[in-house]
Amino acid sequence: MSHFVLVTLHLFAAILFVGTVFFEVLFLEAVRGPVGREAMRPVEAAIGRRARRLMPFAIAVLYGAGIAMAWQYRGDLAQPFSSSFATLLSLKILLALSVLAHFVTAVTLAARGRLRLRHSRLIHFSVFGHVVLIVFLAKAMFFITW
């Protein structure tokens, strides 16, 4: 598959995933208080159902394209401290793996009926911080050198 197709697939899947995380953290968290718990429950349930349908597909495309693109840089990744690019790409991959671990944790807790609001919020805020750094690193690794 061409690099252009991989980058495009990765970018669209990232927009869907990161956009959802931003929406949940920056919008839903802000309206939870003024709207109230009872009004938010059906909204959160509907958004959750939609996200559970779309996110596995988005994550599969995001990570699949990411792995295919990373394969092209396997020489750099074999020596992560050999250049600023290799270091930043390695850090980006570590953060992406952490996001995946967060996602698997949330899905597992939800499947067992143990995902509480507190867990969900912690996971969302942590993933939010991770994706902000990942987006920064996606650009920084091509512009920052040392």
Domain ranges of the chain: 3-143
Distance CA 80, CA 112 (A): 38
Whether residue 37 is predicted with pLDDT greater than 90 in this model: the reply is: no
83: Cβ–Cβ under 8 A, 6 or more apart, which residues?
Answer: 76, 145
pLDDT band for position 83 (cuts 50, 70, 90): very high
| 14, pLDDT greater than 90 | yes
pLDDT digits (tens, 9 = 90+) for 108-146: 999 999 999 899 999 999 999 999 999 999 999 999 999
On whether the CB atoms of residues 80 and 90 are closer than 8 A, the answer is yes
Share of the chain above pLDDT 90, in %: 89
CB 91 within 8 A of CB 136: no
How does residue 52 score in pLDDT terms, banded at 50, 70 and 90? confident
0.75 surpassed by pTM: yes
The predicted pLDDT at position 38 comes to 92
What's the mean pLDDT in 83-110? 96
